[in-house]
Structure 1
């Protein structure tokens, strides 16, 4: 079989496997990811990263990150850093981080060698003449009048070009490719004396400065860079298949022997309703259509990260796509399915109401606390994940406006006058009616406890007294057509509803969760807190993906259009955390970022000198900058409440000690807020506060046993049901035991002890 033929399945893996079996490279497999650092990486780069790193890893090989940085006019260290961050975020570590610009010297020496061999020459025609001389795909080209220029003259001119003695466009270095078709006549126009070097006399390279006045073109740097690094399998997208003969010609010309690097091509990743053109992405940002490169609607890695997409989901998605040599487009629903599949097993189920209306329930007095499981019975959660949480239920709750209809259609299963529904995890209530304003908009719904009624459905809710206000960003596809890049003006196809913000409520259990927790908001979708904009008192959630595809327009069967009322929503974009800072504060903000403090925290600290000084003092005491910034901005400010920092009794070194105790396992992250509050209120040492408040992490079985045994002893009926096979009650027991054990209890240790006790006959 020809090495470039398209076999079934993952043909690249088959090629590598054959080489390994044959000992072609003595068992070595070395691939590379070679991006140009001229823009922020996007989901297309993610495919190439996963392919190259995954391919090498499958055979015990390694992958280099090599920047193709031979164009000085568009590249920067900022983009290079973003590409390395993308590789690491996706879960890979380069064998080496390399730069094509470090190969300028050997490339130049090889170019001189080709001139001496009669395989290259300096052409002094202008650009138009060179283009005309190349011919067309149906007509041979015309050899340059400088094609037979003496080697000594070409060497002298090349040196002068390198030294900046000639202006841009005065000369180029071209390969002299003679084939069986004759000079300038090969059907593959890449082999018609391709340009190797062009002059960029006034350009400044982001790494090499003004040291070089000539720069190699892609084809002259590509294969030779692979050879220098000992790459075995050079994987490119399909449009480079016409470059492969030139890739091999250059290697032959400079004398790279077999076994050597070979180029293989695969189909480029295209995703519908998405663009990956850097030009169009730049237009989106610079035209203000999105709010920066990390806007959660963007297909950039930064945008996907901010949206809440996990790297595991992308790796699984690309593994499932396979590798082909047939160009096509992947439906965006496939990506959304992969995101849901990834989040299903890691996202606890909680309740949030995005378009709220008040429901007042007769028969409820005070607040009842319900132990509600986080996970459905068919999901196995992460081993360390809590199984349940305490849900408050009072006489007034928020429900979704769409869950009520005064005049319900047939088969309506939600709330309507005279009908009963179950509140998720709670009681059955019967609707008594609704109050409206002068415009007929429902302002309040009334219901009664109705344990004797048969519910027609289940709705979610949030307790009005204890619920937390939050903003919810609903994210849809950015364009309204499948192939926006093919449109005359892609901007004309932008979806005006690609980002809609709604104001609602979320259950209080989320307040103590880690910032990176992903949730399934029941009946709505998967969300997480925006890492830039969300604050403890002003929560902002980004929708990662809806529970199902909501793109296709659907008829509204619930309420006639005239009677339908919704909270107005407006498209919006994520805010720049530093947008409110003045010029001096922005300088401080930038310095804090360099120091390692997160963007959200840096924006707060840049505008608050006392807090910033405290954060620096905590860092000086040995704390990690990012952790110190988060502690000051979130935990300490929450502990201060309305007080001034001057009222705090906490010392910087003891706040640093809190973070150190988290690192060594003495304190759980959930207890940090209480520890900081103790220091703010009374001062002293971190260890003393932890001891006084009983916050130390507890993992000892003997210490946890009383809480576990009490939880079981006080619920004998549930114990019997669990032992009879009702396994879903395990989350109930975890909640009961954790409430008795206190914040310091290690959930994993509690779960282990519970399983042991529950299996005892």
Structure 2
């Protein structure tokens, strides 16, 4: 077996392998067919990886096709965003197609069904159609318009096309079986009337094919051999095949279903994401708290980490809820190898080293990565006044507390051991600074006759540059918000916590030089805090904003 196939082996590969055994001249062709009514999310990434990777493996083609059959919900901005996301993931499609470019052909196929007595114009309302369709326990009922003559249906369908009916006044339905155990086969609607300008065809059409009608025929027109979709379309397969069988198509794609991606604490429904945006719970499709590709990108996830995640979860027919920690593991593993280490203080408290002169200044050279010398070094400054994290000091004695406290020693990362001796407070009992002694004999050495103390990070005030830090947590308090319509009741009020602190001044200068470079993502590990990236959208040269991509796996961490 080819090594690439072996790495990406799944039940769909086994099907394709058998198809090649039956037909050695098979021209493998698949497609990624999003509806342009929202942004792509991590679930789409799974489908993108599958379709494009298979096209590479079997030396075939993969189209990007926009199934744009509903102008009421679609927008050109979604088309542009989808194309950007696919290229960002590292894939190039062979053709850019639109279902709308086939509207004339689809109209002819619809007339074919009418001429065969397999479609009719219905004038029941939406509510009546739903009522007549029945349920899983009750069979459907025939529409009173079902037995119209072929001639009458042709005339009425022509009137629909000419705009001589109002919206909702008429539709075209397939004539299949109102007693079918598959509700989708109970005379599904094929065309409906929408008086809205289409982003591609403008005002040329006022009737639009339903997704199920356009999708299978578009696959056929494009010569798709393997139509890959998620399990919720499994019942649609019978309609998919019925339409192909009863029209004059010559290409018969085969539909295969795999499980959709369900991710813990995440909402992937575009309808529900729109509700979050409309209610100002999130700040748009690229909010780092949601699992859209633009949101994950803004948070700091890379194409390689997302593709690695998609490969790890695999392709199966079994629906399950994937742990969010698996996605975090993929980006953490990558950033652990590539992110520059530096220090940042998110909740500063001032340390005054009383035994150092106020003009004391020492330059220290520290590694950008402890295990990768190729990433180089950078310079920091050590002076008599520094910042540490407020949570790294405890005023009240606690035997279990292993960081800075009165009478105890702590080591400053890459620098000296200090000992807290007293606290300076204002008139309101707020801590102004902690007065400490600095043991200048401990650079690179442990204190005499003592164990090595714990280590905390710090920044000299003289070497500090103000920054904003956005700490992201799960947007929902339940693991599977997708499964409840009452998802708004489970919003986590602490999903975004903003801290105002400092980063190293030299690092800030480096960022300011590079932040104008288009599509350049700047990543860091702020020691003991987590992996961060610069927010390219909201940051300015005088206001640097960092998004926490993922927390560190096993270390001190800010809880909020």
State the superposition RMSD in angstroms.
2.4
What residue number does 1:277 align with?
269
Q: How does 1:17-416 map to 2 (within 5 A)?
A: 17-23=17-23, 26-177=25-176, 183-200=177-194, 202-257=195-250, 260-361=252-353, 362-363=355-356, 366-377=360-371, 380=372, 386-416=375-405
Residues 38 and 270 in structure 2, CA contact (< 8 A), matched pair in contact too: yes
Q: How does 1:527-542 map to 2 (within 5 A)?
A: 527-542=532-547
| d(CA) in 2 for partners of 1:440, 1:396 | 21
Query: Which whole-Å deviations, capped at 9, do the CAs of 1:602-648 have from their partners, x for residues lacking one?
Result: xxxxxxxxxxxxxxxxxxxxxxxxxxxxxxxxxxxxxxxxxxxxxxx
Residues 394/209 of structure 1: CA separation in 2 closer, same or farther (3 Å cut):
same
SS for the counterpart of 2:38 is coil
- TM-score, scaled relative to structure 1: 0.67
What residue number does 2:3 align with?
none
Q: How does 1:443-522 map to 2 (within 5 A)?
A: 443-450=432-439, 451=442, 452-453=447-448, 454=450, 455-487=452-484, 489-510=486-507, 511-513=509-511, 514-515=514-515, 516-522=521-527
Aligned-residue offset at 1:331 = 1.8
What residue number does 1:429 align with?
418
| d(CA) in 2 for partners of 1:487, 1:313 | 29
Query: Which whole-Å deviations, capped at 9, do the CAs of 1:544-590 have from their partners, x for residues lacking one?
Result: 11113899998xxxxxxxxxxxxxx9xxxxxxxxxxxxxxxxxxxxx
Query: Which whole-Å deviations, capped at 9, do the CAs of 1:400-438 have from their partners, x for residues lacking one?
Result: 111122334234332223322221111222333322234
Residues 31 and 63 in structure 1, CA contact (< 8 A), matched pair in contact too: yes
| d(CA) in 1 for partners of 2:502, 2:125 | 67
SS for the counterpart of 2:421 is strand
Residues 157 and 172 in structure 2, CA contact (< 8 A), matched pair in contact too: yes
Q: How many residues get paired? A: 535
Residues 416 and 433 in structure 1, CA contact (< 8 A), matched pair in contact too: no
Query: Which whole-Å deviations, capped at 9, do the CAs of 1:502-560 have from their partners, x for residues lacking one?
Result: 11111123121433220000000011111122222222111111113899998xxxxxx
SS for the counterpart of 1:336 is helix
Say whether residues 1:13 and 2:13 are aligned partners.
yes
SS for the counterpart of 1:51 is helix
Residues 528 and 555 in structure 2, CA contact (< 8 A), matched pair in contact too: no
| d(CA) in 1 for partners of 2:173, 2:540 | 59
SS for the counterpart of 1:526 is strand
Mean CA deviation greater in 449-458 or 340-349:
449-458
Q: How does 1:520-559 map to 2 (within 5 A)?
A: 520-548=525-553
What residue number does 1:584 align with?
none
Where do 5+ consecutive residues of structure 2 fail to align? 1-7, 516-520
| d(CA) in 2 for partners of 1:193, 1:291 | 41
| d(CA) in 1 for partners of 2:463, 2:125 | 75
Residues 500/140 of structure 1: CA separation in 2 closer, same or farther (3 Å cut):
closer
| d(CA) in 2 for partners of 1:132, 1:470 | 59
| d(CA) in 1 for partners of 2:14, 2:399 | 57
More helix by share: 1
Query: Which whole-Å deviations, capped at 9, do the CAs of 1:622-679 have from their partners, x for residues lacking one?
Result: xxxxxxxxxxxxxxxxxxxxxxxxxxxxxxxxxxxxxxxxxxxxxxxxxxxxxxxxxx
| d(CA) in 1 for partners of 2:494, 2:553 | 17
SS for the counterpart of 1:254 is coil
- TM-score, scaled relative to structure 2: 0.90
SS for the counterpart of 2:202 is coil
Residues 134/416 of structure 1: CA separation in 2 closer, same or farther (3 Å cut):
closer
More strand by share: 2
Residues 234 and 262 in structure 1, CA contact (< 8 A), matched pair in contact too: yes
Where do 5+ consecutive residues of structure 1 fail to align? 1-7, 178-182, 555-568, 570-761
